[in-house]
Amino acid sequence: MEMLNIKINGKDYQVEKNTTILEACHKFGIRVPTLCYLKEINEIGACRMCLCEVKGARSLVAACVYPIDREGTEIFTNTPQIRKYRKMNLELLLSNHDKKCLSCPKNTNCELQKLCVEYGVNEKKYLGGEDPIRKEDHSTLHLVRNNNKCILCRRCVAACKQQYVSVIGANNRGFDSMIGCAFDQELDNVACVSCGQCTVVCPTGALVERDDTDKVFEAIADPTKHVVVHTAPSIRATLGECFDMPIGSNVKGKMVAALKMLGFDKVFDTNFGADLTIMEEGTEFIQRVQNGGTLPMITSCSPGWIKFCEYYYPDLIPHLSTCKSPQQMQGAMIKSYYAEKTGINPKDIVVVSVMPCIAKKFEIKRDDQGRDGMPDNDISISTRELAKMIKTAGIQFTDLPDEDFDPIMGIGTGAGTIFGATGGVMEAALRTVADVLTGEDLKDVDYKEVRGTEDIKEATYNIAGKEVKVAVTSGLKNAAKLLDQIRAGESPYQFIEVMCCPGGCVNGGGQPIQPGHVRNFTDLKALRAKALYEDDLALTYRKSHENPEIKAIYDEYLEKPGSHLAHELLHTSYVERKR
């Protein structure tokens, strides 16, 4: 490791050779502004906000891509000239930007806006007429694209490419340049998988989730409706960020209290649906192994991943588990078991899910996801939308006391909790499958080999004398590697977990927006997942089949995992999608 002596703003430092200026400055507590840079995803030096001076260089350099490779390099990050050029850059961006900030969904959480405030930008300096008017894209169920607010940073393009989809890119040239689909198609006409990764990296309001909060407020205000909400496992580990709490704070109790204050009639835990998924999926896996079914079996909890498979690997659909996702199972049980138990007409029940994933907005509209003409879930909102509702209602979130989920579907296990992290579904399944096959109550339930954020994790377990080889991956680029292996007939695995978003649900497309300077230098996935694993350790029940509410629903209603009624309510089908 070769170390170099350098100077930054007149002070002496040491860095490894070929460290970029941006990385070096961050290491020593010097913030250099960026708009386009995303570590290991979008390192293109396009926005020019990170311009710095290197003594002896012919011109200013982009700190995000400039490597320090010479002993004695002198760097300046905050000279009058640099501040002047950064301010001018922002003024030029605003000259072609829709400046209706008060009505923008990203108001106060916009990286461009914050930099303009910081540099004292005059928005009218280069104004050449009216604000731009480009057609907005409202074609999808999950997001809205407004190119009037786009600054051509290409973060979304890079995120889409990382997801192995690449349905958006730069169209046209010069002043006519814009981000869009090929031939200016709307997003609904291309093979977008609805993952929403573009929305969490966009520094402005050009890409935002479709806002369904008004529908929820309307349902709560309707005295003829019984409104039930359920929250996905990962929300407890991320919602606090929307209220300036430390990344990785577990706010489960405050979240439940806030939901009750909002006026929901019942507040349930989607961990119950996750436990139900394990009961059905674990049974399906055992049956496939024992009866010569299609292997490897692949998990089906992530709607973005399912859509990807339907678009790009339709020949591998038989490998997908037929189980609905926890969101859909929970909704199905609310409108059947819960409705019968409470004597409420399911047509009068409105089910709202709070999810880390805006692909869930697409999932609730899928065919074969309801009964008697009713959808399993009526409205799906993201973590960001829930935070918006809490703020709109004037609820002081950080001051709330902790409250518990309501009974019937309010007990969740540690197995359900870890669904929110990549590897969690696999580990939860192994905890139950191992007990079922051995007929024992095994005490070692931590399958740590499948944890972590590596691209592909694999492990082999001996369960009841049978060798089970598993793989876990997240991010669709990594999923494609495993699918190509299956397609070639070379897969050594029996069971594979795939999550659409890198790192799993804790990094979903509906999670809190973190600016580039946080996202680039903080391991969001690890901090959020840590909160889930800590919650798992603290819970009374850590295996799905131990959940007393799960036992009750099978004893009283479903009979057994894989029963006829369970298949009718909790299993689904898939379709080949044309590209």
* CA-only gyration radius of the chain, Å: 25
* pLDDT band per the 50, 70, 90 thresholds, residue 128: low
Q: What letter represents residue 211's amino acid?
A: D
Tell me the percentage of the chain whose pLDDT exceeds 70: 98
Mean pLDDT of 105-132: 82
* pLDDT band per the 50, 70, 90 thresholds, residue 570: very high
Q: DSSP character for 190?
A: T
116 or 132, which is more confident: 116
Which pLDDT score is estimated for 557?
Answer: 98
Q: Residue 26: is its pLDDT beyond 90?
A: yes
Residue 454's DSSP bridge partners are none
Number of alpha carbons in the 13 Å side-chain half-sphere of residue 325: 31
Which pLDDT score is estimated for 126?
Answer: 65
User: Which residue spans of the chain are classified as CATH 3.40.50.1780?
Assistant: 214-570
pLDDT in tens, 37-66: 999 999 999 999 999 999 999 999 999 999
Cβ within 8 Å of residue 271, ≥6 positions away: 233, 326, 411, 412, 413, 416, 417, 419
User: Which residue spans of the chain are classified as CATH 3.30.70.20?
Assistant: 100-209
CA dihedral 239, 103, 206, 37 (to 10 degrees): -60
> d(Cα 239, Cα 81) in Å, to the nearest integer?
41
Which pLDDT score is estimated for 127?
Answer: 57
Token duo for residue 445: 């339930």
Neighbours of 483 (CB within 10 A): 23
Which pLDDT score is estimated for 327?
Answer: 98
> d(Cα 73, Cα 55) in Å, to the nearest integer?
7
Prior bond to 296 cis, omega within 30? yes
Please, what is the angle between helix 326-333 and helix 271-291, to 10°?
A: 110
The overall average pLDDT reported for the chain is 96
Q: Residue 579: is its pLDDT beyond 90?
A: no
Q: Residue 363: is its pLDDT beyond 90?
A: yes
> d(Cα 202, Cα 168) in Å, to the nearest integer?
13
CATH number, span 214-570: 3.40.50.1780
User: Which residue spans of the chain are classified as CATH 3.10.20.740?
Assistant: 3-78
Please, what is the angle between helix 271-291 and helix 424-438, to 10°?
A: 60
Spatial contact of 509 and 358, defined as CB atoms under 8 Å apart: yes
CA dihedral 414, 417, 418, 421 (to 10 degrees): -170
pLDDT in tens, 162-221: 999 999 999 998 888 999 999 999 999 999 999 999 999 999 999 999 999 999 999 999
Residues 100-209, CATH architecture: 2-Layer Sandwich (3.30)
SS3 label, residue 336: helix
pLDDT in tens, 446-467: 999 999 999 999 999 999 999 9
Residue 212 host element (H or E)? none
* pLDDT band per the 50, 70, 90 thresholds, residue 371: confident
- State how far the alpha carbon of 316 is from the alpha carbons of 217, 286, 312, in Å: 41, 20, 9
For the chain, how far is it from start to end, CA to CA, in angstroms? Answer: 48
Q: Please list the alpha-helical segments (H only) found in 455-508.
A: 476-487
Nearest CA-CA partner of 94 in 66, 68, 57, 123? 123
CATH topology for 3-78?
Ubiquitin-like (UB roll) (3.10.20)
* pLDDT band per the 50, 70, 90 thresholds, residue 368: confident
Token duo for residue 397: 């979130």
SS3 label, residue 459: strand
Which pLDDT score is estimated for 379?
Answer: 98
Mean pLDDT of 522-545: 97
Residue 471's DSSP bridge partners are 458, 496
pTM for this predicted structure: 0.95
Please, what is the angle between helix 213-221 and helix 383-392, to 10°?
A: 50
Token duo for residue 223: 């005295």
Which pLDDT score is estimated for 489?
Answer: 97
Which pLDDT score is estimated for 217?
Answer: 98
As separate numbers, helices (DSSP H) first and strands (DSSP E) second, the chain gives 20, 21
Cβ within 8 Å of residue 41, ≥6 positions away: 155, 158, 159, 162, 201
Q: Please list the alpha-helical segments (H only) found in 79-202.
A: 80-94, 111-118, 155-162, 197-201
pLDDT in tens, 461-499: 999 999 999 999 999 999 999 999 999 999 999 999 999
- State how far the alpha carbon of 150 is from the alpha carbons of 8, 136, 143, 183, 283, in Å: 33, 11, 15, 18, 48
* pLDDT band per the 50, 70, 90 thresholds, residue 124: low
